Amino acid sequence: MSTAPRRWRVAVVGATSLIGEAVIGELKARDFPCAGLHALDDQRHVGRRLSGEEPAEEGALEVSDVSGFDFSQVDLAFFCGRATLSERYAQAAAAHAWVIDNSAAFRRRRDVPLVAADVNAAILERAAGRGLVALPGSASVALATALAPLHALAALERVEVATYQAVSGSGRSAMDELAGETVAMLSGKEARGRAFGRQIAFNVIPQVDAIETDGTTLEERRLWEETRRLLDHPGLAVNATAVRVPVFFGHSLAVHASFERPLTAAQASEVLRRGSGVSVIEVGSAAEFPTPATLAMAPDRVYVGRVRADPTRERALNFWVVADNVRKCAAHNAVSVAQILVNSAR
């Protein structure tokens, strides 16, 4: 006699954030086996209906207060808001459920698995039924997803990367600021420059997150630490510069990679085409190369283009990477990790 598949009781903490709303959308799009879905956030968002949820719609989600929620009521909790929410509630939730955390709160803890579903899902094979899982930052997910097939073929030696990161990486208020500044400046007014400490419209800012005493930003440090962990290559040399650009969605990365073994551009393109979660855009195609305003809006792929040999070094390639930071690298990754946990529990 066949048994009905298990249905999971799910909570989304930080449900009103860009990533929280995207996770809920992804759960619905994939018809995730939910027995119930709780939208949670801090007190100031309580009672709010989520974007796209009409009051008359049956089962429309209304936000409840996370501070009073009993996490023993759920099997799976996505934390999608600020790191402070995760720091306050995630570990208590993990005593009862799987917690998939999209914030930076637990990424550096060695006792918490750091997972990009298209790169190192195998580390979830020993899933025990509950606990914390940390998700990398969006730029790290995009970079590691593109590098993983190349590393498997030719063994990475060094990576130089410059990231051009969309303002949505700093949340909805940063997107509102870019929109407002753009309108203001096109109307002959001054930009406010509040979200990033200076004007972002029609500008690029070579700083993402705080600058440390050695001149490195926290985002640049995350890029090299998380990429090494995802690829299980602790000795990998990663040199990163993270830049904020006036784009709403879609991180872009200029990557220069050196390998231990020879690798041609044609071989790289071929192995990337077979990579998990990757699409290669050929020079002769209609698209020619990926950009954040076009192909990055497809939510389930990391796009690679302009694959070419580095003319200054042997065994080295240059290429361009674009991915939707909110949907592909955060929400799609979170739900993919959840799906792996669901499958492992069968």
d(CA 339, CA 260): 35
What is the spatial distance between Cα 287 and Cα 27, in angstroms, rounded to a whole number?
Answer: 30
Query: What is the value of pTM for the model shown?
Result: 0.93
Rounded to the nearest 10 degrees, the angle between the axes of helix 333-344 and helix 18-29 is: 50
Query: For the chain, where are the alpha helices, taking DSSP H only?
Result: 18-29, 83-94, 117-120, 138-154, 172-186, 218-231, 265-273, 333-344
Rounded CA-CA distance 110/126 in Å is 16
Handedness of CA 41, 46, 52, 57 (dihedral sign): positive
What distance lies between CA 57 and its chain's CA centroid? 30
Q: What is the pLDDT of residues 103-147, one digit of tens each?
A: 999 999 999 999 999 999 999 987 666 899 999 999 999 999 999
Enumerate domains of the chain plus CATH numbers: 8-136+330-344 (3.40.50.720), 139-325 (3.30.360.10)
Contact (CB, 8 A) for 315 and 338: no
pLDDT tens digits, one per residue of 262-316: 999 999 999 999 999 999 998 777 678 989 988 766 668 999 999 999 999 999 9
Digit-coded pLDDT (tens) for 75-106: 999 999 899 999 999 999 999 999 999 999 99
> How many alpha carbons fall within 13 Å on the CB side of residue 259?
23
> Percent of the chain scored above 70 by pLDDT?
93
